[in-house]
Structure 1
Amino acid sequence: MTRLVADRERCIGSGMCALLAPEVFDQDETDGRVRLLEPSPPGVHAAVRDAVDACPARALDIDSA
């Protein structure tokens, strides 16, 4: 099963993830850091991979364990 991992301590709140895959990622209203809406999506589509790759802080990862 695929699971997304978001390191909120590493996140700088750029919002790239929420822009590229808004059905999976959002930004916390309080501090602007990443918030996972769907930590275990049924399939990891191109937009999610693009969001992970575009994160300037490298705060996102895809765990396919």
Structure 2
Amino acid sequence: MTTVVADCGRHVSVHLAEQDGQVLLLAFSDHPQPPEMADDVLPRLRASAAVSCGTETAAGGRPV
């Protein structure tokens, strides 16, 4: 969440779901040109027992 909030958009959207006994968490910023993300974000997510993680930047913001 810190990464998405740091994008300085006006809104943050969080989506939770469950599939096959695992939690799916998506966090979206609404900033169309978010700043560069810190290099340690995805390694920290992987270290927290995440099965997979990633990020992308789209026209409407950045999903993490």
Q: Rg: which structure is higher?
A: 2
- Tell whether the structures are fold-level matches, with TM greater than 0.5: no
Higher helix share: 1
Q: Which has the higher contact order (CA 8 A, sep 6+)?
A: 1
**Which TM-score tier does this pair reach, normalised by the shorter chain?**
0.3 to 0.5
For normalisation by structure 1, the TM-score amounts to 0.33
